[in-house]
Chain A
Amino acid sequence: MSAAQKEQFDESFLKKLEYLYIMSKKVVAGSMRADRKTRMVGSGIEFADHRHYSPGDDFRNLDWRIYGRTEKLFLRMFEEEEDLYIYFLIDSSRSMQIGNPNKWDYAKRVAAALGYIGLCNLDRVSIIPFSSKLEGRMAPTRGRNQVFKIFEFLNRADPGDQTCMGDAFKKFVSQNKRSGLAVVISDFYDPEGFEAGLNFLRYHRFEPIVVQLFDERELGVNFHGELQLVDCETGQVNDIIVTDAILRQYVKAFEDFSQELEDYCKKRQMLYFRAPLQVPFDELILKIFRAGGFIK
């Protein structure tokens, strides 16, 4: 572990987390300690919704009144009260490592901050770096004093290689049966597309929260001329003559890409945050809380 990495989570960082926690309490006023509810429907007592009956369902939950009116079988569902599991899926691929400071360090800070707040709220927090596979896993842990475990894990987390959310998240859902919030912190530079990975999470009842990181320096490139652009992950080479017009088109392509991601998330009611590296991470944290959907 390098000295720089150690400095990421020093005492001042911890103080900043305390501050963020207090601020989160103000922002999310009225929330109650240890009373978090998942969106999962299960065996609770508070009615949540109906769904069509499927063979194998518990007969006891059939809504006979609806059957009497419609002669169709509907199953009554109840909200299930349980501890909230928060999974921080941090993209550790090589595209996150470019630049100094890079998105990888920023992502770890964001994960640490949100994880700390989760611990303070007595949620179970787990951190899983990923690239094309899962690059380690910090088992769900609970309690404020476990924050140093998060720090230690993040400090020890190694960078990955090529991004493939589909493969990584497929592995993730197979390893983590308890659904919960899945905070995906990534640049979403997946050659195979981000949809597959996010869909995996959704289909396995995880509630994805998308935090897209990007470096504004990537948009303000100052190289011109006839170049070979080499993808840092795949090694794919593109011969290109970079002009001002090309650069403008590149910025537009990035904005289109980000917009596609945002539209995808909104359409599926997933929280989406876009954060440039140049914005301090604590501002991003507050922004997330202001959005109000991270912790209910």
Chain B
Amino acid sequence: MQFTGLLLDTVFMLAGAAAVFVTVLYLLKLRKRRIEVPFSPLWGRVLADRKSHADWWRRLKRLLSWLLHLILVGLLGLAMAGPHFKDEILQGRHILVLIDNSASMGAIDVSGGVDRLDMARRQAIEILEAVGGEDRVMIAAFNNRIEPLSPFVSEVSLLEGPLRELKVAATGTSYEQALGFAADSLRGKGQAELVIISDGAGLAGKSFDVIDFGPETTVRHLKIGERSDNVAITAFNARRYLANKLDFEIFVQAQSFFERTIEAELQIHADGRLVDTKALTLQPGEVYSQFYPSQAVSGEEIEARIRVTSRDARDVFPLDDRAFALLPSKKKLQVQLVTDGNLFLEGTLLLNPNIDVNRVRLSEYDVDAVYDITIFDRVTPPISDRGNFVYFAPEGELSPFELQGTVTNPIITDIKKSHPLMRWITLTDVNIGQSAKLRRAGRDEVVASSFGTPIIMTRSEEGRQMVVVGFDVRHSDFPLRVAFPVFIFNLLDYFALADQDFIQSYATGETWAVAVARGLTTAKMHPPQGPPVEIPVFDGRAMYYGEAPGFYRLETPQSSVRIAANLSDVEESRIAPNDIELPEIEITRQADSMVFERYQIWIWILLLATLLLLIEWWTYNRRVTV
């Protein structure tokens, strides 16, 4: 038995004084009411009859009455002492409730709630309703990061609002981060209690390091979820063809997490239109992969959907049944070739169906004309401040590259093979009749050189990118080699920057850094659902933490960038609930054993005292104890 009320010394003193007072009252002669009767001998007869048993009964009644009042004094004293059961927790506890709101908590394999998160929310609210007045409760949501919903507060009703607003985040789960946060939050707190409400998805076979939650910390795991029935799109993206980088291919991967064979249907939608469907039979755990060539997809917003078609099977996790990808606009590069005639260049460019080539003579050249790429063949006219320019055998004073004469029969000795221009080709045995002797400036990058003399260089300036090839292709055997058209394609790719600007899909649960124009401080992000959000821009990159899969649109005054985001987390699709196991820590699995109630025994003691008083009152009025 524990006591939280008045000090026991005080209680004993008060109860003792009251007991003495009661005893004194009983010892004092009772001042009785005097009634005048006409003939007392008649009463004497009555008394004579009852006298035999009246005396001991009277004494007994007085003794019982005295004992009753002593018991009442004792009960009141006990109530003042504030008794509690021995195993009852009396001091205010620090209770940290960690609620998993990762993607797997969106599974609907629960009864009594909408989804796992809804069940977790209900259990958390039940806990809040049961805590004592001196308890301090903190609630934090965790997925692949930690989001504290409150500090430790005793006014738990304030926590219900944030709890109800908690939503499933289409992200992975970082249990290590959550447990580390819990350890940091509870360490040093008295009567600490950690309650993890999670499905434990993805924990199968996972082990943790020893975590120090502090002494006497109780760790509980309330497992949510019942089944693992799920089929998911685990990968979905678009990429360039290796052979033709101006076209794209789509890759989709699906996996079944059912424990039996199921029938499913995989659909590909482009701009909302169904463009392909495929019936699948998936064995337990089977991974299905499929490529889609670009010819089959003509849209820009590509979406893959998978659904279970077996009648007796149900996919309980819809969040990973859709995946999103973006294809760049199918526009052709506008290329201007300024030359007096070069069949090798013209022929190679004309062979490429993804570009429009406009050949002009130097006299027809318009410096203000806008092209994606302008190729100067043996001419160096004035150029604008913005654009992409390629020089073959530059000459003249207007050459942006400084020329230091010529070099005859140069042999290319050094090649920067990692440069995009040099992909899949080699120039070591190219025979060149004559090449300009280029001088490398500060930010120029030498791609190929002959004994230190740059032969091919690139330059990046504000608004302009340039590539210079020092020799005339007609005075070399380069056009006769397979490497020449590849080099031209590399050249076009280098300016198109397709690898960097397009196709990039973002994973939910990460902070995205999207390149925007420099100088901006904010941008506006349009998520798949909900109103647009203003997001910060740092150093030319807009920062945004994406939690929902789907298509986003990032708007700046200068541009509008589309973004596709996917869950892309196999562990989250593996929704089978698991128990959290921590080394050297015993984890309680049941919520029933949680002693959140505080038994106010003093109330029952007062009720008992009141009951005794009522019995005494009743017996007195019924003349039983008079």
Please list the residues of chain A having a beta carbon within 8 angstroms of any beta carbon in chain B: 95, 98, 187, 189, 191, 215, 218, 221, 223-234, 236, 238-246, 249-250, 253-254, 256-257
Contacts and interface: CB of A to CB of B under 8 A. Distances in A.
B626 A243 contact: yes
Interface of B: 30, 32-47, 49-50, 54, 58, 623, 626
A140 to B, nearest CB: 31
Contacts of A95: 38-39
Contact of A230 (B36, B44, B50): B36
Given A238-B40, A249-B49, A228 B58 contact: no
Contacts, number: 88
Given A238-B47, A253-B46, A231 B34 contact: no
A-B complex: 6 closest residue pairs judged by Cβ atoms: A231-B40, A189-B39, A95-B38, A243-B623, A253-B45, A249-B46
A250 B42 contact: yes
Given A191-B41, A236-B40, A238-B40, A227 B46 contact: no
11 contacts: A187-B38, A218-B38, A223-B35, A224-B626, A232-B36, A238-B47, A241-B54, A245-B623, A246-B46, A250-B43, A257-B45
Contact of A229 (B37, B58, B626): B37
A189 B38 contact: yes
Contact of B42 (A230, A232, A253): A253
Given A191-B41, A253-B46, A228 B34 contact: yes
A287 B50 CA distance: 38
Given A224-B623, A226-B626, A229-B37, A257 B42 contact: yes
B46 to A, nearest CB: 5
B33 A230 contact: no
Contact of B34 (A187, A215, A227, A243): A227
Nearest to A249: B46
B457 to A, nearest CB: 123
A230 B46 contact: no
A169 B44 CA distance: 26
Contacts of A234: 40
A225 B58 CA distance: 12
Given A224-B626, A238-B47, A240-B47, A187 B39 contact: yes
Contact of B43 (A224, A232, A240, A244): A240
A240 B46 CA distance: 10
Given A239-B32, A253-B46, A225 B38 contact: no
A231 B37 contact: yes
B52 to A, nearest CB: 13
Nearest to B57: A241
Nearest to A163: B39
Contacts of B35: 221, 223, 227-230
Residue of A215, A241, A243 most packed against chain B (CB within 10 A): A241
Given A227-B33, A244-B623, 5 more contacts: A227-B32, A229-B37, A230-B37, A231-B40, A232-B37
Contacts of B54: 241
Contacts of A227: 32-35
Given A232-B36, A240-B47, A241-B58, A254 B626 contact: no
Contact of A223 (B33, B49, B50): B33
Nearest to A214: B38
B32 A228 contact: yes
B42 A226 contact: no
A33 B289 CA distance: 148
B38 A238 contact: no
Contacts of A240: 43, 46-47
Contacts of A233: 38-39
B136 to A, nearest CB: 57
B30 A226 contact: yes
B622 to A, nearest CB: 9
A225 B626 contact: yes
B33 A228 contact: yes
Contacts of A229: 34-37, 40, 43
B47 to A, nearest CB: 6
Contacts of A242: 626
Contacts of B47: 238, 240
A229 B39 CA distance: 10
Nearest to A188: B39
B54 to A, nearest CB: 8
A163 to B, nearest CB: 9
B49 to A, nearest CB: 6
